[in-house]
Amino acid sequence: MKIGIVGAGRVGCACALAVVVRGSARNVVIVDRTRKRAKAVATDLRYGAPLCPKTTVIDGDYDDLANAALVMITAGINEKAGGATDRNDPQGRLRLLDTNAEIYRDIVPRIVRAAPRAVILVVTDPPDPLADVARISAGHDRVLSTGTFLDSLRFRVHLAEHFEVDANQVEAQVVGEHGVSQVFLWSSARIAGVPISSLVRERGETLDNVREQVENSVRYANITIIEGNDASQFGIGIVTARIAEVVLRDERAVLPIGSYNDNFGVTLSLPSVVGRN
């Protein structure tokens, strides 16, 4: 099956690399406003592709997205360029919304004309309100955002580091928005089935202190990464590849990603069954 990636910046490249290395799709099309850049990225990936599961990578324009099962959108201004790197700013990634919404209103109709049945995966920050913009522009509900999937993984990693265990043994989720108002589900967080609250007591710690430390690390992980490497890209790249696999294979997996919620009238992340439809 085919995946399209619109936007060949740092995040788009990370998404493309993850898709190729994991073998998430048989065909990948990279689209960028600068065709020369899309061609360079696709060519670079093709040189390493023989060492990966069978994947064909090409550059293209919007028409080349025809018959894509899923299209990721990574285009837009990023956090550093958009001034969304202040830990004390209550808006956080929402500062990027107006600029990126205009970009989406231009991009999404082009995607829909080329691939009317494709699931649209919003990766650009802030992904949840941009998913609402995309849904309106697309005229259908087959729109997902990466939501709090990455935040949930960050939550697991920081809990694993605190308790000195493998992150694969940690069950923990973040819900709500991919932003400063995200909600950590501490009551259901567990390591190998044991509640975090019990483990905290056994270590003679207080849950409040652990919560403050872990939540700050997760909530501002993007800024910490940007301060060292200008952009948060590799984690979200792997996340998008995994979401693509779940959709293309109709896995019906439960993931904390963003979808439109009729009860609240917005896109937000809750544990959701994800598949092709």
Active-site annotation, residues = 178
177 vs 257: CA distance, rounded Å: 9
User: What tokens appear for 152 in the block?
Assistant: 């949930």
Q: Look up residue 247 and give its DSSP letter.
A: H
114 vs 213: CA distance, rounded Å: 46
Residue 56 burial (CB count, 10 A): 14
Please choose, from the candidates 88, 164, 182, 83, the residue with its C-alpha nearest in 3D space to the C-alpha of residue 128: 182
Residue 122, classed as helix, strand or coil, is: strand
Letter string b/e over residues 166-203, b meaning 16 or more CB atoms within 10 A of that residue's CB? ebeebbbbbbbbbbeebebbbeebbbeeeebeebbeee
Peptide bond into 127 cis (omega under 30): no
Residue 164 burial (CB count, 10 A): 6
**How far from the centroid of its chain's Cα atoms is residue 158's Cα?**
18
User: What tokens appear for 31 in the block?
Assistant: 């689209």
Do the Cβ atoms of 235 and 156 come closer than 8 Å? no
* CA angle (248, 21, 246) in 5-degree steps: 20
